[in-house]
């Protein structure tokens, strides 16, 4: 048996549904009322489906996993059933994607804005400082990126109290799981086709994310060099890479058209100078970088906070409606220079999240940690405060769910987060593509602060439109 479940008590009126007597009923909002035998059947079916359809990820427990393709795979962490959620908000998130794409592009062209906004951070954050150094070098040599490619993911939570869709962050580098989202929707649709009648759920209400597949095709086309070259580590690029005087990047003797980064966003991705040399080499080249150093910096949390200040969006965008749409999804964001806010955050730390300039999950500070860190920074009086931003904590609705990881199904209360993918391709003045490219929902137990799937906190999910 895969599932280890504590027995759930049945809510009155659900008996009938479980016996399969009734036709499609009102959705069972309390998933925890579903009969345990049925859950175990579905868990088994879901696990079989994941292996048959490639809804898998590398298995950290297998030593050779990740080193050799096809070796050491395990089913992706998944929610057994989709999350019930209102339609209007997710449509709004899709509408925002092209506007954020354009914003990133505009911000990336303003080298001074990036350097100035991150100037204090640079003094105290060695990693951001190295990225800014590469950026400065590009400004000095007047490097122009004429073809610009962005593959972004803007993440949101639905704030329960205000019913507002609020942005968590915008990822401009290594936005992951684009390929798995559509598989999760397919899995949930399959389960509801088979069991929906018993559950009172209609598989037709699962929000389609088919466009993922077109995004993937798009990526493959653009990333042909990845296929011919295979994946390269930064260290390999340092040893095999060569820059010709005309800007052509050669790796292993082959011309590279597009560099897509699956790493390079965390300090641990640069264990030696070799990796930094590779990053600089690629940036100096005429290959299309996804992301370029400017796109990468435009996605930092400090820039997110600067963009939320009054009148900053107006510097980059003309369309007033677009500006209003973006602003509506901004949560409260502050630098620690704001003493009124730091005072409030010390008094009520549970209402804030403190974020350093890091990616990949597991780096933020919550609750008492916020208070302790702010008090320490005040006492020390150093400039280390510039490493962080403060953000209003968002509280989404909590719903009963089943989370499956490593073949074990856990019954718990969870909150969900939505990522909407955006693709942007531009050649000089011509925008070739600027679109949303599907969504990914992920769900984590409500008692956990952080939300990364890869970081081990959350499971992949889909949306059941209500
Ligand atoms: P990273 O770039 O490391 O993914 P995020 O800003 O996305 O950083 O934060 C990681 C996770 O922390 C998010 O996925 C979310 O679950 C949680 N989180 C971040 N900001 C907030 C917030 N303002 N309110 C509530 N949870 C948040
Ligand atoms: Mg991120
Ligand atoms: Mg994130």
pLDDT in tens, 5-48: 323 333 333 333 333 333 444 555 679 999 999 999 999 999 99
Q: Which ligand 1 atom is nearest residue 393's CA?
A: 24
For the segment 68-82, the average pLDDT, to the nearest whole number, is 93
Q: Ligand 1: residues within 6 Å at CB?
A: 155, 168-169, 331, 353, 355, 358-361, 363-364, 391-394, 417, 450-452
**How high is the pLDDT of residue 89?**
86
Least confident of 175-179, 264-268, 430-434, 437-441: 175-179
The ligand that comes nearest to the alpha carbon of residue 455 is 1
**How high is the pLDDT of residue 215?**
53
For the segment 250-278, the average pLDDT, to the nearest whole number, is 94
Secondary structure element (H or E) that encloses residue 96, with its range: helix 87-108
Ligand 1, atom 14, lies closest to the CA of 451
Residue 69: band (very low, low, confident or very high) from pLDDT cuts 50, 70, 90: confident
Ligand 3 midpoint to CA 440 (Å): 12
CB 149 within 8 A of CB 257: no
Ligand 2 midpoint to CA 233 (Å): 21
**How high is the pLDDT of residue 225?**
41
**How high is the pLDDT of residue 449?**
79
**The complex's ipTM?**
0.99
The ligand that comes nearest to the alpha carbon of residue 363 is 1
**How high is the pLDDT of residue 230?**
60
Ligand 2 midpoint to CA 301 (Å): 8
Name the pTM for this structure. Answer: 0.90
Q: Which ligand 1 atom is nearest residue 361's CA?
A: 3
Report how far residue 338's alpha carbon sits from residue 115's, in angstroms, rounded to the nearest whole number. 20
Pick from 451, 453, 456 the residue to mutate for probing ligand 1's pocket: most ligand atoms within 8 Å of its CB. 451
For the segment 85-90, the average pLDDT, to the nearest whole number, is 86
- CA 367 vs CA 162, 333, 339, 374, 457: distances in Å: 21, 17, 18, 11, 18
Q: Which ligand 1 atom is nearest residue 396's CA?
A: 25
Q: Which ligand 1 atom is nearest residue 166's CA?
A: 23
Report how far residue 404's alpha carbon sits from residue 76's, in angstroms, rounded to the nearest whole number. 9
The ligand that comes nearest to the alpha carbon of residue 418 is 1
For the segment 309-316, the average pLDDT, to the nearest whole number, is 98
For the segment 445-449, the average pLDDT, to the nearest whole number, is 85
Give the residues across from 434 on adjacent strands: 424
Structure tokens, 456: 């081990």
**How high is the pLDDT of residue 13?**
36
Ligand 2 midpoint to CA 105 (Å): 18
**How high is the pLDDT of residue 23?**
41
Greater model confidence, 457 or 123: 123
Ligand 1, atom 19, lies closest to the CA of 168
Residue 209: band (very low, low, confident or very high) from pLDDT cuts 50, 70, 90: confident
The ligand that comes nearest to the alpha carbon of residue 360 is 1
Ligand 1 midpoint to CA 126 (Å): 22
Q: Which ligand 1 atom is nearest residue 352's CA?
A: 23
Task: Identify which of 394, 370, 388 has the alpha carbon closest to the alpha carbon of residue 301.
Answer: 388
For the segment 83-90, the average pLDDT, to the nearest whole number, is 88
Task: Identify which of 212, 255, 270, 259 has the alpha carbon closest to the alpha carbon of residue 231.
Answer: 259
Secondary structure element (H or E) that encloses residue 342, with its range: helix 339-347
CB 56 within 8 A of CB 73: yes
**How high is the pLDDT of residue 219?**
54
CB 403 within 8 A of CB 443: yes
User: 3-class DSSP state for residue 138?
Assistant: helix
For the segment 241-259, the average pLDDT, to the nearest whole number, is 94
pLDDT in tens, 335-365: 999 999 999 999 999 999 999 999 988 899 9
**How high is the pLDDT of residue 3?**
30
Report how far residue 461's alpha carbon sits from residue 438's, in angstroms, rounded to the nearest whole number. 13
Report how far residue 163's alpha carbon sits from residue 134's, in angstroms, rounded to the nearest whole number. 41
For the segment 141-163, the average pLDDT, to the nearest whole number, is 96
Pick from 267, 298, 348, 364 the residue to mutate for probing ligand 1's pocket: most ligand atoms within 8 Å of its CB. 364
Ligand 2 midpoint to CA 153 (Å): 9
Percent residues over pLDDT 90 in the chain: 76
Report how far residue 452's alpha carbon sits from residue 103's, in angstroms, rounded to the nearest whole number. 25
**How high is the pLDDT of residue 9?**
32
The ligand that comes nearest to the alpha carbon of residue 458 is 1
For the segment 236-259, the average pLDDT, to the nearest whole number, is 94
Greater model confidence, 4 or 165: 165
**How high is the pLDDT of residue 448?**
81
> In this structure, which topology does domain 332-393 adopt according to CATH?
Dna Ligase; domain 1 (3.30.1490)
Residue ranges per structural domain of the chain = 332-393
């Amino acid at each position: 048996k895969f599932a280890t479940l504590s027995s759930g008590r049945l809510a009155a009126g659900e008996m009938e549904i479980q016996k399969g007597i009734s036709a499609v009923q009102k959705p069972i909002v309390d998933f925890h009322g579903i009969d345990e035998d049925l859950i175990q059947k579905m868990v088994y079916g879901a696990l079989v489906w994941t292996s048959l359809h490639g809804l898998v990820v590398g298995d950290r427990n297998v030593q050779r996993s990740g080193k050799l393709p096809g070796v050491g795979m395990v089913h992706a962490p998944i929610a057994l059933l989709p999350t019930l959620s209102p339609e209007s908000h997710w449509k709004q998130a899709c509408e925002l994607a092209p506007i954020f794409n354009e914003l990133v592009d505009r911000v990336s062209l303003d080298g001074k804005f990036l350097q100035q906004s991150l100037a204090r951070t640079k003094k105290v954050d060695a990693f951001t400082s190295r990225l800014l150094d590469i950026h400065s070098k590009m400004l000095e040599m007047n490097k122009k990126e004429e073809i610009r490619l962005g593959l972004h993911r803007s993440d949101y939570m639905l704030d329960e109290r205000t019913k507002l869709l609020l942005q968590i962050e915008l990822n401009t580098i290594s936005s992951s799981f684009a390929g798995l989202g559509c598989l999760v929707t397919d899995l949930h649709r399959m389960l509801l086709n088979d069991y929906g009648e018993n559950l009172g759920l209609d598989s037709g209400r699962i929000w389609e994310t088919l466009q993922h597949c077109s995004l993937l095709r798009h990526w493959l086309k653009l990333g042909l060099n990845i296929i011919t070259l295979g994946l390269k580590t930064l260290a390999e690029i340092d040893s095999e890479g060569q820059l010709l005087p005309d800007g052509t990047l050669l790796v292993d003797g082959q011309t590279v058209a597009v560099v897509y980064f699956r790493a390079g966003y965390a300090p641990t991705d640069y264990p030696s100078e070799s990796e930094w040399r590779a990053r600089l080499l690629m940036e100096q080249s005429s290959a299309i970088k996804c992301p370029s150093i400017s796109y990468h910096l435009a996605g930092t949390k400090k820039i997110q906070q600067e963009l939320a200040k009054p009148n900053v969006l107006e510097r980059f965008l003309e369309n007033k409606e677009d500006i209003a749409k973006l602003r509506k999804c901004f949560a409260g964001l502050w630098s620690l220079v704001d003493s009124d806010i730091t005072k409030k955050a010390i008094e009520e730390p549970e209402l804030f999240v403190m974020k350093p300039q890091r990616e990949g999950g597991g780096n933020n500070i919550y609750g008492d940690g916020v208070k302790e860190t702010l008090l320490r920074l005040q006492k020390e009086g150093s400039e280390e405060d510039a490493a962080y931003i403060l953000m209003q904590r968002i509280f989404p609705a909590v719903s009963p769910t089943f989370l499956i990881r490593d073949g074990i199904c856990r019954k718990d209360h969870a909150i969900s987060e939505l990522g909407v993918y955006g693709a942007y391709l531009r050649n000089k003045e011509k925008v070739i593509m600027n679109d949303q490219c599907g969504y990914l929902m992920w769900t984590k137990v409500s008692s956990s602060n952080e939300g990364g799937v890869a970081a081990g906190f959350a499971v992949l999910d889909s949306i059941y439109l209500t």
